[in-house]
A and B are shown apart, each in its own frame.
Chain A
C-alpha cells in the first residue's frame, strides 16, 4: 500500500460493498451511512478503517470528510483502490485546520472485513500545509 496522506491508523476494517458518496450518503453528525440505496445503510464508519474501491458522486464529499473529522465521527483511515483527490483534500484540510489526521492509502489492505488492523507506512509526514 502507498500512503497519499501519510500517518498511522488503527481500527476495525470495514469494506464497502459499493462506492459511497460521503455527501448525501454519510452523516458527519452521527458517523452513519445514510444512503438508503447503499447495501450497508445504517453502518457506522466512525473510527473504522474504511476500504472502498473509489469515491462516488458529489464534489462536496471533501467537506463532509473534513467536517466528520472535526466532529470526531470520521473514519480512522481510508484505503482506496485508486487515488481520489476529493478525499485526499478533505483529509488534508482537517489536518490543516484541526490537526486531525485521517491517513489515505491506496492499494490492497490485505485485511479481512471486521478484523482489527494497525496501519503505519513509516513515512515522514508531508508537513503542515
Chain B
C-alpha cells in the first residue's frame, strides 16, 4: 500500500490515538480488497450511530474517549430513538440509555446530528464526482447512482474511521473502472407501468437478486424515474443484493447513453424483466393480502415531495388504523402545511429513526401495509409482522376504509 507522509504520521499516532486506530482499520480494509493507495474524501455519512449492542457503544466510546474528531463534514444516519418524539418509543429503557450514550459519542466527535437514512435529501448533498465515504446501504447506492458522487459500501465502524482520517482505500466505486456497467437489465413492460411507483420497487428487487455486487445499467425507463422512484429502486436493490451503484440509460448522470454507462465496452450479461416477472416480484414482497392492522410509509425517509403527495391523498380524510410516516427532522422542518394535513389525517410522523428499527409500532392487529420494498423486505424478521406491499394511494385508501385495497396489482 502506497502511503503518504501524513498517512504514516496518522499510523504512528501523531494525530492522536483515535486517528491511529482509525487509520489501522482503513488500511486493513484497503489491504483486504487489494487497494494500492488511499484517497482524500470531502464528506462522510456515518451509520455506526445506530445501536446494535454493546459493541457499537464500546467502539464509539473508545474513539471519542481518545479524543477522536472528524476531519471532514459528516452527517449521521438514523438512531434507535425518535429524539423529537421520545414518547413514541415502546422499547427497553436500558437499550434506550445506551443508544443515547452512542449518540453523545458521535456528536462529541463532531458529526452533525442529522439522524436520517436519506442524507441525499439534505441541502448540502454531494455533487457529481465528489469522493465521499458513506454508510447506510440505501444512501450509498443513491449517492453513486443518482448524485454521481463516489463511495464504496462502507460498513459500520469503517465509516467513522474514514471520517476521522479523511482517507479511504482507492478502489471500487471510487475509480472510473469500478463504475462501469457490466450487466444490462432490460425493463420490457407496458409504457403505462412506468407511471406506477411499484414498478421501481420490482425493478430494484430484481436488480439486487440478479446482479449481486456488479454495476448494472437499466434500460427501458425514462424521466418518470424521478429521484424518489430511484430512491425506492436503490433501497430495495441494496436489501435484496449488495448493489452499490446502478445506471439508468438516459436518466442517471453517468449514463447519458448506454455507451457511457458501459464505458464503450460490451456488457457481460443481459437480464430481461418482463411483465410476468415484475408482477411476481410485487406480489412476492407481500406476505399476505388480508387483515389490515397498520400502515407504515417513509422508508427510506420521506422527501418533501413524498410528504406533499401523501398530504394531497389524505387531505380532509381520516385513517381508521395506526398510520406511520417516517422522515428526517430537517425535511419535517420544511414541511409545515403538508405535515399539518398528515397529522389531521391521524397519522403519526416519526423522525430520527425508522419504524422497522425502533419499537414504535403498536403491536398491529393484522398485517402492516407499506409502499416500501425495503420495509417489506426487513420488517417480517425485525418486527415479526405480516406485510402487504402497495402503492402510496392504496395505502391511504386502505387506511381510510380500514381494510386492504389493492389496485392494479391485486
Contacts A24-B382, A25-B381, A55-B242 given: A129-B25 contact, CB under 8 Å?
yes
Please determine whether A97 and B52 come into contact, CB atoms closer than 8 angstroms.
no
Let me know if B32 and A4 touch, CB within 8 A. Answer: yes
Interface size on A, residues (CB 8 A): 47
Can you report 14 residue pairs joining A to B where beta carbons are below 8 Å apart? A4-B32, A54-B242, A56-B242, A57-B239, A59-B156, A60-B47, A62-B158, A63-B50, A66-B157, A70-B55, A82-B213, A88-B28, A92-B28, A93-B25
Asked if B28 and A93 make an inter-chain contact with CB atoms under 8 angstroms apart, the answer reads: no
Please, how many angstroms separate the alpha-carbon atoms of A61 and B59 in the complex?
15
Which of A7-15, A28-36, A43-51, A110-118 binds B? A28-36
Interface size on B, residues (CB 8 A): 46
| Interface residue B256 (Cβ < 8 Å from any Cβ of A) | no
Nearest opposing residue in chain B for A23, CB measure: B52
Taking A57-B238, A90-B155 as contacts, is the C-beta distance between A96 and B55 under 8 angstroms?
A: no
Chain A 73-84, CB-CB to B under 8 Å as 1, else 0, gives 000000000111
Contact B381 A59 (CB under 8 A): no
| In the complex with contacts A54-B212, A61-B155, A85-B29 CB distance below 8 A | yes
B143 smallest CB distance to A (angstroms): 12
Please count the residue pairs between chain A and chain B whose beta carbons lie under 8 angstroms apart in the complex.
137
By secondary structure, the B interface counts as helix
Decide yes or no whether A119 CB sits under 8 A from chain B.
no
Who on chain A is nearest to B23 by CB? A129
Interface residue from B154, B242, B380 paired with A19 (Cβ < 8 Å): B242
Q: Are B29 and A88 in contact (CB under 8 A)?
A: yes
Closest Cβ of chain B: how far from A116's Cβ, in Å? 27
Report Cα–Cα, A51/B56, bound state, in Å.
Answer: 25
Tell whether B89 is near chain A: CB-to-CB under 8 Å.
Answer: no
What's the Cα separation between A111 and B54 when bound, in Å?
Answer: 34
- From A5, A54, A86, contact of B155 by CB (8 A): A86
Chain A residues numbered 84-106 whose CB sits less than 8 Å from any CB in chain B: 84-90, 92-94, 96-98, 104
Is the CB–CB distance between B48 and A63 below 8 Å? yes
- Taken together as a complex, chains A and B put the C-alpha atoms of A23 and B47 apart, in Å, by 13
Q: Which of B29, B136, B241 has the most CB of A within 10 A?
A: B29
Establish whether residues A62 and B155, one from each chain, have CB atoms under 8 Å apart when the complex forms. Answer: yes
Report the separation of the CA atoms of residues A28 and B378 in the bound assembly, to the nearest whole angstrom: 16
In the complex, whether A58 has a CB less than 8 A from a CB of chain B is yes
Establish whether residues B25 and A63, one from each chain, have CB atoms under 8 Å apart when the complex forms.
no
A84 to B323, CA, bound (A): 38
Alpha-carbon gap, A120 to B58, bound state (A) = 29
Q: Which residue of A lies closest to B26 (CB)?
A: A89
The reply to whether B154 and A64 contact each other, CB–CB distance below 8 Å, is no
